Amino acid sequence: MFPSNYAKSVSIVKAGWHAAIVDAFVRSCREHLEFADMPLVVSEYEVPGVVEIPLFCQKLIDHSNPDLVVVVGLIADHGVYRHDFVASSVMDAIMRLQMQTGTPIIYGILTPQDFMSEGREAFFMEHFVIKGREAASAAIKTLENERLLAEALVKMA
């Protein structure tokens, strides 16, 4: 068991497409993580798009072993079915990776409806700020649950 002052590592993996909106999520998430009641070391990585996130996360987990990963991206519906396939494929790959490695992954890859409509970009910019805070809260809660589980396992041993 790690001492209470042991810093947990959180890696944020973001897609480069729609960078302004994705970065709003990342800034919000990082700011909220700073207020965690536990020491955290936060690293940030950028991949070209959401399709590249699962493989990068697998390599990151294999080589760096972060305590938790947050993934973020935006899959825009441009009026073709491709966005549905991309969203489903990425979600499935992230879920498999999480289950195979045991590393928690907080999912912040969103597929907003009507993204291309007039005025929607500003709406989603604000929405991603909210989602960044929510992802940070989920990360903190997940790390706390991991700590409680580890303590319970030590007591059972």
Name the residue among 31, 35, 37, 33 with its Cα closest to residue 10: 33
42 forms bridges with which residues in the sheet?
A: 10
Task: State the catalytic residue, choosing from 82, 96, 133, 147.
Answer: 82
State how far Cα 61 lies from the chain centre: 13
Q: What are the structure tokens assigned to 43, written together?
A: 């690293």
Q: Is the dihedral of CA 94, 99, 101, 103 positive or negative?
A: positive
Say whether 147 is catalytic: no
**Exposure b/e, 46-83, CB count within 10 A at least 16 = b:** ebeebbbbbebbbebbeeeebbbbbbbbbbbbeeeeeb
Q: How far apart are CA 132 and CA 129, in angstroms?
A: 5
Write out the catalytic residue numbers: 82
